[in-house]
């Protein structure tokens, strides 16, 4: 349910990255990913969506098995997309699925440090 908690402090007019780290039981991975794709398809059709990548841990007992990084053109665009009724229904379908036991940890991020080979920082 915390996927639907309002995400505060998103700057309205700057690019932001929504990062959502999910705890998912190993045997629910495929079902989770299928449901998540339903959400992602809706997000991919919203104004301001730039790109998302869902990362999967190669470690079987990882606490954070899936991590989604979704880039948006602005905090405002992300806020509007998250309020989309079709998206909310899709998120609810994932969170209410009795065969899934998922803990999401969504928050809004910006890049604090970018590092390239040989950087002296």
Interacting residues toward a copy of itself by CB under 8 A: 7-11, 16-17, 19, 21, 33, 36-38, 40-41, 43-45, 49-60, 62-64, 66-67, 69-70, 105, 107-121
Taking the alpha carbons of 101, 18, 30, 26 in that order, is the dihedral positive or negative? negative
Taking the alpha carbons of 7, 16, 3, 83 in that order, is the dihedral positive or negative? positive
- Minimum distance from CB of 111 to a copy of itself (Å)? 5
Element (H, E) at 32: helix 29-44
**In the complex with a copy of itself, which residue's Cβ is closer, 1 or 98?**
1
Structure tokens at 83: 């309020």
**In the complex with a copy of itself, which residue's Cβ is closer, 70 or 91?**
70
3-state secondary structure of 66: strand
- Minimum distance from CB of 96 to a copy of itself (Å)? 21
């Amino acid at each position: 349910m915390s996927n639907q908690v309002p995400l505060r402090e998103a700057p309205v007019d700057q690019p932001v990255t929504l990062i959502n780290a999910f705890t998912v039981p190993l045997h629910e991975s495929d079902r989770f990913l299928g449901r998540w794709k339903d959400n992602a398809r809706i997000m991919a059709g919203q104004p301001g969506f730039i790109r998302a990548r869902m990362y999967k841990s190669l470690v079987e007992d990882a606490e954070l098995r899936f991590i989604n990084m979704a880039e948006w053109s602005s905090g405002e665009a992300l806020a509007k997309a998250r309020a989309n009724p079709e998206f909310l229904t899709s998120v609810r379908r994932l969170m209410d699925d009795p065969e899934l036991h998922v803990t999401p940890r969504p928050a809004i991020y910006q890049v604090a440090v970018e590092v390239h080979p040989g950087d002296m920082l």
